[in-house]
Amino acid sequence: MQRRELIVASLATAAQACVAPSRATGTTTMEEKRRAPTLFTAGTRGAWRIDHVIAVRGEALPAAAYLDVASRWEPEPGAAWALRGTVSSGRYTERREKAPLDAASPPLARSEASRACLIPLTKSPAWWALTQDERRAIFEERSRHLSDSMRFLPRVARRLYHSRDLGEPFDFVTWFEFAPEHEPAFDELLHMLRSREEWTFVDREVEVRLTRATG
């Protein structure tokens, strides 16, 4: 069994042990939902239609028609691919930056935000060999990841998921939502982030563009 399967199996077993009473009724408790990662599953059904998949750097992901986003461990049978991630605290965000960032950040699932983009990426071994302070210096002091992204809020909603600790093939999965008229602003945001020093440490990145499914 590979490393990812071993980690997922052990974490899932631990989560199930904490919520065992719910299995008798077939219901999902709030505790279980909090422990389960967010699972992005590409397949034949889902709330989001996949418009196209771009290999920005490295290998792409297989083609699929729809993307399902849910809080659970395992995908439905027959999935083209599935990615897991958990929300964590801002590891490179300082306290003085957090308050204005939180105030300007819009929620997900806004009715007008019918476009989305899923971006999984993997950083290089050179990135992970750096200390936390060195990564922070590249992330914000030199690349201005947070400060220069603020002007795209609230047009673009964003949520970062951490996947590295789950043994996933990507280190991070970022989910973006925006209205169709704000897609040019989102394109500008991506161009900006990819032009900075931080992006030189990216080994693999895939861009999945989506539209909210109707009917």
pLDDT digits (tens, 9 = 90+) for 92-147: 667 777 888 889 999 999 999 999 999 999 999 999 999 999 999 999 999 999 99
3 inside domain = no
144 inside domain = yes
Residue that the structure tokens 């974490």 belong to: 11
92 inside domain = yes
pLDDT, mean over the chain: 86
Q: Give the lowest-confidence range in 15-24, 47-56, 68-77, 108-117.
A: 15-24
pTM metric for this prediction:
0.82
pLDDT number for residue 76: 87
When divided into structural domains, the chain yields a total of 1
81 inside domain = no
pLDDT number for residue 6: 44
Listing DSSP states for 62-115 in one string gives: ---SEEEEEE-SSPPTT-SEEEEEB----TT--HHHHHHHHHHPPPS--TT--E
Q: What is the mean pLDDT of residues 155-181?
A: 97
**What is the domain-level CATH number for residue 100?**
3.30.70.3420
